Amino acid sequence: MPLRKVLIANRGEIALRIHRACQEMGIATVAVHSTVDATAMHVRLADESVCIGPPPARDSYLNMAAILSAAAITGADAIHPGYGFLSENADFAEMVEAHQLTFIGPTPGHIRMMGDKIAAKDAMRRLGVPLVPGSLGALATFEEARIVAQEVMYPVLIKAAAGGGGRGMKVARAESELEDAWRLARAEAKAAFGNDEVYLEKYLDRPRHIELQVLADTHGNVVHFGERDCSLQRRHQKLLEEAGSPVLGQADRDALGAQVTRALRELGYRNAGTLEFLWQDGQFAFIEMNTRLQVEHPVTEMVCGIDLVKEQLRVAAGEPLGYDQSDVRFHGHAIECRITAEDPQSFAPSPGRVGTYHAPGGLGVRVDSALYSGYVVPPHYDSLIAKLVVHGGTRAEAIARLRRSLAEMVVDGIATTLPLHRAIVEDAEFQAGDYTIHWLERFVAGRQGG
Ligand code: MV4
């Protein structure tokens, strides 16, 4: 059934992004907002809006009952969760469907499966996707950890089953460190997630983080839209992403894509998803799968010439993809800079009133942002204020375009990470594509005079 009205259960740039796709498809939109967001751009642009609670996210953007009520009173027939907030909450997806609404995302069962990192790895292993060597499932005892660590050889990592984003993760560089790692990982996992299940992997010491974008309809068709290299991150917060990866060619992309799409077809997956891999010494190893639209999806859109949110809406309405893998072509190179309201050296949050806001433009430049001059960045939410995305025929052209776009862009009145991005694009190693997941921490320490 075609979608007529979509409730967007999010805020900021991603709420605008989803609204724009709906508008172009003739679908009406409902914004939800907290009291502090009453004048936010996502509320102004939507066809209708509903206030769902006070500023703290747990009382508004995470308030499932308030969001379902907003959908009911406005007569929405679907909910798009965006990223963050309720986007990977299987209980919420289940409640949406129980209210005869369409959840624009995977099934609750697949969200739940991928939320359990052990279940996700087990599924991928059975489907023939390569993994980091490690324990088969959860570790039952410390003795088991010792045996598996000896098998895969040190250094090793103990990871939380309910983890992701680096929480509840401990390295052991030798057997003498294993017991502390085991104890700490379990305690942290218990405290953070209420679940002390842990597993063990060989620790890869200088990998790149490469992820693959997939899309599935409800008729058994699965395609991939290539990879993103997200290695440039600090404390598990990505700063800059590229499509494609500077280290992969079309043959690598085709090989990984074929393996992954086969696996997801077997799994009966639907809607958009991203598989995260560590890449080291020419080898891919699956670590996690994200069952949502990701922040960095625009770089994929730029190189593939597709609108991922429109595709999500189409397949959620039951439409078949209508094309196959051979119709997906890759053109040039795209780079995204995440511009946040943070000090560019200390990363201290910097909410407050924006003075002048000027977005760059021109060929191959895209800015996804809910900013306007005079906007007050509230302190209650994620500090992302704009995504600057550039596309070029080659990586060198994309970098040149990024450099001049960063020079044009103005965000006055608050501290932002724009100066850090301007420094990164000038760096010779960045320009050569020569970096791992550890590169940015060192680069930032160098700028701090470390
Ligand atoms: C790893 C790893 C090295 N070896 N697993 C961090 C968050 C979670 N998504 C997985 N993470 C890692 N898992 C093995 N076996 C290194 C990391 C890691 C990392 C991964 C991707 C992007 C940035 C990272 C920063 C630090 C550690």
Write the secondary structure of 211-222 as one string of H (helix), E (strand) and C (coil). EEEEEECCCCCE
Q: What is the spatial distance between Cα 225 and Cα 215, in angstroms, rounded to a whole number?
A: 8
**Extended beta strands in 35-125, E state:** 48-53, 78-80, 102-103
320 and 384 co-located in one domain: yes
335 and 216 co-located in one domain: yes
Q: Is residue 112 part of a domain?
A: no
- Which protein residue has the closest C-alpha to ligand 1 atom 20? 209
Backbone angles phi, psi at 386, to 5 degrees: -160, 145
Six-digit token pair at 355?
Answer: 């003075």
405 and 335 co-located in one domain: yes
215 and 329 co-located in one domain: yes
231 and 193 co-located in one domain: no
Q: What is the spatial distance between Cα 239 and Cα 230, in angstroms, rounded to a whole number?
A: 8
Q: Is residue 288 part of a domain?
A: yes
223 and 142 co-located in one domain: no
Pairing of strands 237-243, 333-340: antiparallel
Atom of ligand 1 nearest to the CA of 165: 7
Q: For residue 80, how far is its CA from the centre of ligand 1 (angstroms)?
A: 29
Q: Which of 178, 202, 226 is the last residue of a domain?
A: 202
State the greatest distance between any 2 C-alpha atoms of the chain, in Å, as a whole number: 62
310 and 419 co-located in one domain: yes
Looking up residue 146, the CATH number of its domain turns out to be 3.30.1490.20
Query: What's the pLDDT score for residue 163?
Result: 85
305 and 365 co-located in one domain: yes
Query: What's the pLDDT score for residue 344?
Result: 97
Q: What is the mean pLDDT of each run of 10 residues along the chain (450 residues)?
A: 96 98 98 98 98 98 98 98 98 98 98 97 97 95 98 97 84 98 95 94 98 98 98 97 97 97 98 98 97 98 98 98 98 98 97 98 98 98 98 98 98 98 98 98 90
Looking up residue 83, the CATH number of its domain turns out to be 3.40.50.20
171 and 265 co-located in one domain: no
Atom of ligand 1 nearest to the CA of 132: 15
Which of helix, strand or coil describes residue 280? strand
Which residue's structure tokens are 């369409």?
102
User: Quick one: CA torsion of 122, 127, 130, 134, rounded to 10 degrees?
Assistant: 20
Q: What is the pLDDT of residues 359-372, one digit of tens each?
A: 999 999 999 999 99
Q: What is the spatial distance between Cα 422 and Cα 405, in angstroms, rounded to a whole number?
A: 10
Q: What is the spatial distance between Cα 388 and Cα 361, in angstroms, rounded to a whole number?
A: 10
Q: What is the number of domains present in the chain?
A: 3
Looking up residue 319, the CATH number of its domain turns out to be 3.30.470.20
- Which protein residue has the closest C-alpha to ligand 1 atom 24? 437
Q: Is residue 126 part of a domain?
A: no
Q: Is residue 413 part of a domain?
A: yes
Q: Is residue 124 part of a domain?
A: no
Catalytic residue numbers? 292
CA end-to-end span of the chain? 58
285 and 394 co-located in one domain: yes
Q: Rounded to two decimals, what is the model's pTM?
A: 0.97
Q: For residue 165, how far is its CA from the centre of ligand 1 (angstroms)?
A: 8
75 and 164 co-located in one domain: no
166 and 279 co-located in one domain: no
Q: What is the spatial distance between Cα 153 and Cα 148, in angstroms, rounded to a whole number?
A: 8
Q: What is the DSSP letter of 203?
A: P
232, 236, 295, best to mutate for ligand 1 pocket (most atoms within 8 Å of CB)? 236
164 C-beta closer than 6 A to ligand 1: yes
Q: Percentage of the chain with pLDDT > 90?
A: 98
Q: What is the spatial distance between Cα 300 and Cα 334, in angstroms, rounded to a whole number?
A: 8
Boundaries of domain holding 148: 133-202
Q: Is residue 111 part of a domain?
A: no
Q: What is the spatial distance between Cα 373 and Cα 357, in angstroms, rounded to a whole number?
A: 5
Query: What's the pLDDT score for residue 450?
Result: 60
